[in-house]
């Protein structure tokens, strides 16, 4: 059993089966999530016999690190993992000096949603990943920052965080299609006795699974919500995102209003810009009309290239023109800062494939 799949209650039950008192579970929990131990032998305040029992019955993680890649002068780092059963996932760390380090985490191997502009969607769903496998991605990079933060700061001539400050569930997969395991990881990440990352420092992105949006609205933790919209009308959105045939824009907007009314928290609309596809001023006006009056922000994302797809990213002038139309309607609208494109680590590129073989001319 992967020990990262156990919350404190589950770990206490395991220790009870081994004839150990509950306080031992709290010790081990602190070793895992505060001291970041990845070897039972390092838990030296435990009796040697207990450490041997733990090693015989539990393992600390089950992901196999296959490959690491870096870009942006080492400030963006992508890791490829192999899961049991041979499916693969990817995780990305993005450091923004002086005070932010964001990790982009996968919640599934592959994805069943089939968005035409996304490399992960071309894989189909390979399998859900466990809460422990979600935790393992985070803890790996937390350990990396703790150990290497000073060296990174020295290389860049200024401070960088020595811990993860923000977490986005925007890697491979649709989090709400793996809701139970994903939420178990959220609770463990937020646990003050464990990793202790604030819920408001976490953001989950969905293609628009309305049941998940409503369920999130009813949760106690205030996790931020980002919704992949990418088109302001049903015809175009269904062409780009098959999920729209199940939950059209009207259903989606109803669920988002439920979320904002219940939580009083702003939702972020993600909008990937595709040249001459969804980036015209007319569509920008439709988008502004669709979201006007909502507690929201629009995040424009110039499409990131993926192999074998007959799409092109919007030119800078079209991006700027689109943004101006939305802003003129009084709606907060920004363009996402590009990171990791050269190693296929940017939005929509995660598919456990090699980086593009030829230079990418972004504009």
Cα angle vertex 139, ends 351, 336, to 5°? 50
What is the per-residue pLDDT for 350?
A: 46
CA dist 348 and 363 (Å) reads 18
What is the domain partition of the chain in residue ranges?
A: 3-57, 64-343
Q: Does domain 64-343 have CATH number 3.20.20.70?
A: yes
What is the per-residue pLDDT for 338?
A: 66
Among 100, 80, 211, smallest CA distance to 149 is for: 100
SS3 label, residue 291:
helix
342 is catalytic: no
Calculate the alpha carbon distances from 212 to 144, 156, 180, 245 in Å. Answer: 32, 41, 10, 17
What is the per-residue pLDDT for 305?
A: 75
149 contacts 130 by C-beta, under 8 angstroms:
no
Catalytic-role residue among 83, 90, 118, 133 = 90
Catalytic-role residue among 115, 296, 333, 347 = 347
DSSP string, 177-245: GGHHHHHHHHHHHH-TTTT---GGGEEEEES--HHHHHHHHTSSS--EEEEE---SSHHHHHHH-GGGG
Q: Does domain 3-57 have CATH number 1.10.150.530?
A: yes
CA dist 216 and 176 (Å) reads 9
CA dist 15 and 11 (Å) reads 6
90 is catalytic: yes
What is the per-residue pLDDT for 233?
A: 98
CA dist 47 and 117 (Å) reads 53
78 contacts 351 by C-beta, under 8 angstroms:
no
Among 292, 245, 265, smallest CA distance to 204 is for: 265
- Divide the 363 residues of the chain into consecutive groups of 10 and give the mean pLDDT of each group: 96 94 96 96 95 95 94 90 94 95 96 90 92 98 94 90 96 97 98 96 98 98 97 97 97 98 97 94 98 97 78 91 98 80 45 40 30
């Amino acid at each position: 059993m992967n020990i990262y799949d156990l919350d404190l209650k589950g770990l206490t039950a395991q220790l009870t089966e081994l004839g150990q008192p509950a306080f031992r579970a709290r010790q081990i929990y602190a070793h895992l999530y505060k001291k970041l131990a990845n070897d039972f032998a390092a838990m030296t305040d435990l009796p040697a016999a207990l450490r041997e029992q733990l090693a015989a019955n539990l393992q600390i993680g089950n992901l196999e690190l296959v490959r690491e890649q870096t870009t942006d002068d080492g400030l963006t780092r992508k890791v490829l993992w192999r899961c049991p059963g041979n499916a693969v996932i990817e995780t990305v760390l993005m450091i923004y000096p002086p005070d932010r380090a964001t990790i982009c985490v996968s919640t599934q191997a592959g994805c069943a949603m089939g968005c035409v502009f996304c490399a992960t969607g071309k894989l189909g769903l390979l399998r859900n990943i466990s809460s422990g496998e979600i935790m393992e991605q985070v803890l790996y990079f937390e350990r990396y920052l703790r150990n290497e933060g000073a060296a990174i700061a020295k290389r860049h001539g200024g401070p960088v965080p020595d811990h993860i400050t923000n977490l986005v569930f925007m890697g491979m997969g649709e989090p709400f299609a793996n809701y139970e395991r994903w939420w178990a990881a959220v609770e463990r990440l937020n646990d003050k006795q464990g990793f202790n990352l604030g819920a408001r420092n976490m953001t989950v992105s969905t293609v628009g699974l309305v049941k998940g949006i409503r369920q999130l609205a009813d949760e106690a933790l205030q996790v931020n919500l980002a919704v992949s919209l990418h088109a302001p009308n049903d015809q175009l959105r269904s062409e780009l995102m098959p999920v729209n045939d199940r939950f059209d824009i009207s259903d989606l907007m109803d669920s988002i209003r439920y979320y904002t009314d219940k939580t009083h928290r702003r939702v972020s609309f993600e909008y990937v810009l595709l040249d001459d596809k969804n980036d015209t001023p007319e569509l920008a006006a439709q988008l502004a009309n669709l979201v006007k009056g909502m507690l929201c922000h629009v995040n424009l994302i110039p499409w990131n290239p993926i192999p074998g797809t007959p799409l092109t990213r919007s030119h800078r002038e079209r991006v700027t023109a689109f943004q101006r139309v939305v802003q003129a309607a009084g709606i907060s609208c920004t363009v996402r800062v590009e990171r990791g494109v050269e190693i296929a680590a940017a939005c929509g590129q995660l598919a456990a494939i090699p980086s593009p073989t030829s230079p990418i001319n972004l504009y």
